[in-house]
Amino acid sequence: MMGHIMLLGPTEIVDTFAEAFRMRYLRLIITTVDEYWLDAAVREVTGYGSSVIGCDAEIAVEQLLDTNETPDGRPGASVLAFGFSVDALAKAIPNRVGQCLMTCPTTAVYNGLPEAEEQIPLGKFLRFFGDGFQKSKVLGERRYWRVPVMDGEFVVEEQVGVAKGVAGGNIILQAITSEIALSAARRAVEALAPLKGVITPFPGGVVRSGSKVGSKYKGMVASTNDAFCPTLRGRVETKLFEGANCGYEIVIDGIDEQAVARAMTATIHAAAGEGVLAISAGNYGGKLGKFHFHLLELLKD
Tell me the C-alpha distance between 235 and 237, whole Å.
7
CATH topology of domain 24-163: Alpha-Beta Plaits (3.30.70)
- For the entire predicted model, the pTM comes to 0.96
Asked whether residue 2 carries a pLDDT value surpassing 80, the answer given is: no
pLDDT score at 4:
65
Q: Give the mean model confidence (pLDDT) for residues 271-275.
A: 98
pLDDT score at 1:
38
Q: Give the mean model confidence (pLDDT) for residues 274-293.
A: 94
- pLDDT per residue as tens digits for the range 76-91: 999 999 999 999 999 9
Asked whether residue 301 carries a pLDDT value surpassing 90, the answer given is: no
Phi and psi (nearest 5°) for 167?
-125, 145
Instruction: Please report, for the chain, the start and end positions of each structural domain, with discontinuous segments joined by +.
Output: 6-20+165-300, 24-163
**Number of Cβ within a 10 Å radius of residue 211:** 17
Whether 6-20+165-300 and 24-163 share one fold: the answer is: yes
- pLDDT per residue as tens digits for the range 192-229: 999 999 999 999 999 999 999 999 999 999 999 999 99
Average pLDDT, the chain: 96
CATH topology of domain 6-20+165-300: Alpha-Beta Plaits (3.30.70)
Q: Which position has the higher pLDDT, 147 or 213?
A: 147
Asked whether residue 3 carries a pLDDT value surpassing 50, the answer given is: no
